[in-house]
Chain A
Amino acid sequence: MDPLVQVLRQDRGRLLAALVARTGNFQRAEDALQDAAASALVHWDRAGVPTSPTGWLLRAALRKAIDSYRRDTSLARHRDAIALLAQEEAADPDPQAIPDDRLRLIFTCCHPALEEKTRVGLTLRSLCGLTTEQVAAVFLDAEPTMGQRLSRAKAKIATARIPFAIPGPEDLPDRLNSVLTTVYLIFTAGYAQGPQAGTDLCAEAIFLARLLVHLTPHQPEVEAALALLLLTHGRQAARTGPDGLTLPPSQQDRNLWNRAELDEGRSLLDTAIARRRTGPFQIKAAIAALHAEDTAPDWPQIAALYARLQDFEPTPVVALNHAVALAESGQPGPALAQVQALAGVLDGYQPFHAVRADLLVRVGKVEVARLDYLRAIGLAASAADRNFLLARLLALE
């Protein structure tokens, strides 16, 4: 791999965070890093790759930031900032020795004042070092559309003064949840799509979760979020059969499970639960752990966990999952009643129709079930899901 691409891939988040911390401006920091990378392209090609490529980039970016202040019409306002940056640049900073500001950066990127999609985009661009083009591909957006979204977000961060800071203890649980939800969204996007075009979003999400565990130690929700990703990812290879069909968990080949990932997930979850501060990610990870048991899953326990999760996240999707667990625990009647109550809000949601079809079959209403399968097939997002549902429909008497 090209050395510049490699350095940016690995250290872009750290460099960007350091630059935002020093300039107080997301766009200025990103432009400075961009300009520094452009210089590197020329210099490294001519003079060879420096011994500390990251240090070289940081120094160059500090100089570029100073230049950008000097070009500013309100130069007088920036004298102090320029002096500070110049001092630091002259000291030839070691990027590994300066404080890691990535936690502040991720709290800014995942601020609830930004739209969810924007949070995902900014985080992938800033912390994971994806290009705008790669971020756009995640959402099947055109590159300029995503570029505009990211620019607007950076402008809002500066204008509305979204702080580049770790929230205080009062706000921390909510804000941390917003960060973890963003990471989880990145993971689920990758889980649905699989690796593509050089981007493995599941790996990016696991990287972010590991970073958060490292930067915010002793936080049970953070540990549980990483556990959730590992406990899900560890079973991914078994998710589809050789024919490309999505397999129900009961038919998945457990030899394909990644035992190391599952063990690490379980151990992280144990650590988190021992801290005795329950939260939604611990419950979700506990559910994932029950699905990753070698024996058949303990459905009554899973149903109880979903019931508890509804206290934290009273959403229709959680209620749907709760109903599935109830049905698997031998209560298809109450499960169907609960699912019927969600018909209004979840009408466009494929799993809703697949679940209801399955429950209708169980209570002997095969004809109505057929309609739900057809609806679910129409809404299926991937060929694997579509084929799976089709097979279920064709198996009906």
Chain B
Amino acid sequence: MKYMALIYTAPTLTPPMGDSMNQAYFALNQKMKAAGVMVGGDALHPAATATSVRLRSGKVETMDGPFAETREHLGGYYILDCADLDQALHWAAQIPGAAYGTVEVLPLVVFG
């Protein structure tokens, strides 16, 4: 069963992505890989670099910025393969961003 863990943090409340933060993520990645739960994951550049697009009446509308202006921004994600929600939440709680922001866990839809 695959889950997506979305990491939301408020830039003003989060320590910069320095060495210690990088190390914390690196250590978690190693742990997740060793446990065989990590399918993937990435960190994202700040919301200021986001561009939103939508198609309206056949026309592409392009906008500077994220889809919604919120205090907390999507800063990264993991895709985890876990037995159940308890296991997914157990890993999500260890994501360094959980200590500063919120990690949202969603089950992925399996097609076919």
Contacts and interface: CB of A to CB of B under 8 A. Distances in A.
Chains A and B come from one and the same complex: yes
Nearest to A107: B86
B64 interface: no
Contact of A163 (B86, B105, B107): B86
A384 to B, nearest CB: 41
Contact of A113 (B1, B83, B85, B90): B85
Q: Which of B1, B86, B105 has the most CB of A within 10 A?
A: B86
Interface residues of A, number: 10
A160 B5 CA distance: 13
Contacts of A163: 83-86
Contacts of A162: 84-86
Interface in A151-172: 159-163, 165, 167, 171
Nearest to B109: A159
A167 B107 contact: no
Interface in B63-110: 83-86, 89-90, 105-107
Nearest to B87: A163
Contact of B1 (A111, A161, A167, A171): A161
Interface in A89-134: 111, 113
A171 B86 contact: yes
Q: Nearest 3 pairs between A and B by C-beta?
A: A163-B84, A161-B84, A160-B107
Given A113-B89, A160-B85, A161-B84, 20 more contacts: A111-B85, A113-B85, A159-B107, A160-B105, A160-B106, A161-B1, A161-B85, A161-B107, A162-B84, A162-B85, A162-B86, A163-B83, A163-B84, A163-B85, A163-B86, A165-B84, A165-B86, A167-B86, A171-B86, A171-B90
23 contacts: A113-B85, A113-B89, A159-B107, A160-B85, A160-B105, A160-B106, A160-B107, A161-B1, A161-B83, A161-B84, A161-B85, A161-B107, A162-B84, A162-B85, A163-B83, A163-B84, A163-B85, A163-B86, A165-B84, A165-B86, A167-B86, A171-B86, A171-B90
